[in-house]
Amino acid sequence: MNATVAEAIAMRDVFISETARLLDDNPRLALVLADISAGEGRFAQAGVDHPDRVINVGIREQLMVGVAGGLALAGLRPIAHSYAPFLVERAFEQVKLDFGHQGTSGILVSVGASYDWSEGGYTHFSPRDVALFDTIPGWTVHVPGHPDEVTGPLRAAADSDESVYIRLSNRRNAEAHASPDGKLTVLKRGGQATVVAVGPMLDNVLAATADLDVTIAYAATVRPFDTQTLRELAGTTADTIALVEPYLAGTSDHIVNAALTDRPHRLLSLGVGREDLHRFGTPDDHDSWHGLDPAGIRASLSKFLSV
Amino acid sequence: MTATFETARQLAQRTVVDPRYPINTYTLDPLWVLYDRILRIDSADPDDPNRDRFYLSKGHGPGSYYAVLAAKGFIPADWLDSVAATESPLGAHPDTTRVPGVEISAGSLGHGLPLGIGTALGLTAQGIHAPRVYVLIGDAELDEGSNHEAMAFAGAYGLGNLTTLVVDNHSATHGWPGGIASRFTAQGWTATTVGITDHDGLASALTRHTKAAPHAVIATVED
């Protein structure tokens, strides 16, 4: 089962402590905030330690992303961080124009995922962020499913000159499985379908498929998507594939379909629906309403596989 | 041969693609003053980390900008004869990845000032204190909310290595009652207003900054 906010060490805690270390070690790294995560116990100490490279612009997300782009133009390696809807959607034109179009790059790290703060409601939900990154070129996208899967991509991003989006969540799987090279991790082999679980969806997928004859592959890096392994796995399951993504259902359809244009294949896409449900409750409730709890995933797979 | 303002004016005429849409000559005056008298930028060393930065945020109608870049040796003058042609690096909005001397790609309004703030902060963070960052925006561009996020932050932060030049041709749909300078000074900037064809006045206004606050120069076009 997915755990929620109560977990002791959340992905955000790992991001904050690791970024503070990276700021100590790497004079090229800079962090731009818009009040989120700027307080005591978050990035306040890093701001004291590195006043020139930890910049809190206040509640100004367009400015936050634009400043990150300007830091990159000055030769620094910027990280911008906020809740996913404010970081990616509110400031999307800045994401589009202030990095790649300028010939530079940056690191964006979100919290909140699709509906982590379920009590907060629709204004704080961002199930469409990964789909938005698919509309602009060159972004690497990591969707960790466990706090231990945050440090690797973050360090790699800090050392690279790529544009990287890291989508943190309060949800987590019981164990970390991410492969360090961004490839799919095969957790189980079966014959009827290749089921790809993305990030925090894994434990629900494992619970839903315990008695099914399916291959389970885990993805914590989704852009670029490991289509080579997917093709190999799908070839052993009659090119029958199910994708279970913690963001908009169908977000990665175009990649799977493009990877298999030369082979007839069947694809089931599970993920978050587009509706504004006007509901609160818990993240587990939202899993259930979007058919992403173990029972919902099982029901969709049973229908798809006629089992 | 040393280029003059008249050289730049004649070069700008070459960028006119359609005579129904003449160049915005009013932008030529402050651009010329910047490149001729203010900016410490060398076309022979355009990537010098210690250079001043000039961000043309208002990317529209860049003929004057291209002309000044040609007059100052950043780009060949014959590029001006084929603006926006199939293989031309010069578009109707400048692209930093294609034009030597162009520091940012612009076109969508309201991006230059936040980028300029980031660069001003980034230079300081690297111990590079000599350069200033200059951002040129239009008075209608000032409508964009991102500028107001930027103005409030830069003023409160006391960003002393940033200058914003506002070209005011009175094109903002709802105007700026009380003037544009007051928008900046209310947020902790210093500000000077000057006529746009007064080259000595522009040069003076563009050097009237302190180290403690960002500076705004409002260059007004006479009606």
Indicate the pLDDT class of residue B21, thresholds 50, 70 and 90: low
Q: Is the pLDDT confidence value at B126 over 50?
A: yes
Do the domains A185-306 and A5-167 match in fold? yes
Indicate the pLDDT class of residue B152, thresholds 50, 70 and 90: very high
Angle at A141 between CA A136 and CA A142, to 5 degrees: 170
Q: What is the pLDDT of residues A197-209, one digit of tens each?
A: 999 999 999 999 9
Supply the angle between the helices B112-125 and A61-73 in degrees, to the nearest 10: 50
Q: Do the Cβ atoms of B90 and B99 come closer than 8 Å?
A: yes
Q: Is the pLDDT confidence value at A7 over 70?
A: no
Nearest to A254 by CA among A227, A234, A229: A227
Tokens 């070459």 appear where? B14
Strand A266-272 and strand A240-248: the pairing is parallel
The arithmetic mean of pLDDT across residues B23-27, rounded, is 77
- Sheet of B190-195: strand order equals B53-56, B133-138, B162-168, B215-220, B190-195
For residue A30, the distance in angstroms to the closest alpha carbon of chain B comes to: 8
* Cis peptide preceding A224, ω within 30 of 0: yes
Q: Which two tokens stand for residue A170?
A: 């309060």
Supply the angle between the helices A11-25 and A151-159 in degrees, to the nearest 10: 30
Q: A93 in contact with B at a CB cutoff of 8 Å?
A: yes
Q: Is the pLDDT confidence value at A8 over 70?
A: no
Q: Which two tokens stand for residue A185?
A: 């991790």
Express as a percent the part of chain A with pLDDT over 70.
Answer: 97
Of the candidate ranges A160-169, B20-29, B173-182, the one whose mean pLDDT is the lowest? B20-29
Express as a percent the part of chain A with pLDDT over 90.
Answer: 97
Q: Which CATH code is given to the segment(s) A5-167? A: 3.40.50.970
The arithmetic mean of pLDDT across residues A176-197, rounded, is 98
Please state the domain extents for chain A.
Answer: 5-167, 185-306
What backbone phi and psi angles, to 5 degrees, belong to A194? -100, 115
For residue A57, the distance in angstroms to the closest alpha carbon of chain B comes to: 6
Indicate the pLDDT class of residue A6, thresholds 50, 70 and 90: very low
In sequence order, which residues have a C-beta less than 8 Å from that of residue A156 and are 6 or more positions away?
Answer: none
For residue B222, the distance in angstroms to the closest alpha carbon of chain A comes to: 32
Mean pLDDT over all residues of chain A? 97
Residues of A in Cβ contact (< 8 Å) with B113:
66
CB contact under 8 A, A58 and B121: no
Q: Is the pLDDT confidence value at B25 over 80?
A: no
Q: Could you give all domains of chain B from N- to C-terminal order, each with its CATH number?
A: 5-220 (3.40.50.970)
pLDDT on residue B26: 85
Q: Given B111, B121, B149, which is nearest A97 (Cβ)?
A: B111
Strand A185-188 and strand A215-219: the pairing is antiparallel
- Sheet of A163-167: strand order equals A54-56, A29-33, A77-83, A107-111, A163-167, A139-142, A221-223
Hey, which CATH number is domain A185-306, 3.80.30.20, 3.40.50.920, 3.40.50.300, 3.20.20.210? 3.40.50.920
The arithmetic mean of pLDDT across residues B31-37, rounded, is 98
pLDDT on residue B19: 72
CB contact under 8 A, A66 and B111: yes
Q: A65 in contact with B at a CB cutoff of 8 Å?
A: yes
For residue B55, the chain A residue with the least C-alpha distance is A70
